[in-house]
Amino acid sequence: MFSRVNYPFLDEERSLPINLLYLVVAIAIMILGILHICITPKVFKAMTPESIWFVSGGLAIISNATLNLARISTKPESGMLDYFCYANNALTLLFSLILVRVLPRPQTKLFACLMFLETLSGFLVKF
């Protein structure tokens, strides 16, 4: 009557700790992107080109997390989605490391650490 909900990251034949790490980090990155957008009115008192760029940074962070969450929820060996995630994570990790060098603040360091974990777990996870 009731079917069991299938959570791809909880299958017994997969590496549960890495899959859970991948999920938690993707959700944390999404929350970081949402917070980035939410603080825009506090940082910028008026709508300016700089405030729009600030919001776009949050949207890019959310897009990265969404791509990884889509990969988590798809069936095994989803093909191109895996490669898109690898490339996106590697490029975003590279950007976050440059960002820390230019803007060494706690939030940029947190973002770089989360991106490192997401990139690493994304390569290690087996779907």
pLDDT, tens digit, for every residue of 103-114? 999 999 999 999
Please provide residue 99's backbone torsions phi and psi, each rounded to the nearest 5 degrees.
-60, -40
Asked if 43 contacts 54 with a C-beta cutoff of 8 angstroms, the reply is yes
pLDDT tens digit string along 70-93? 998 886 666 889 899 999 999 999
pLDDT of residue 126 exceeding 80? no
Q: From residue 60, how far is each of 2, 4, 11, 68, 70 by CA, in Å? A: 38, 34, 30, 13, 15
Asked if 100 contacts 113 with a C-beta cutoff of 8 angstroms, the reply is no
Asked if 29 contacts 65 with a C-beta cutoff of 8 angstroms, the reply is yes
pTM listed for this prediction:
0.83
The pLDDT score that the predictor gives to residue 17 is 85
Range of weakest confidence among 12-21, 99-108, 110-119: 12-21
In the chain, where the domains are located: 15-124
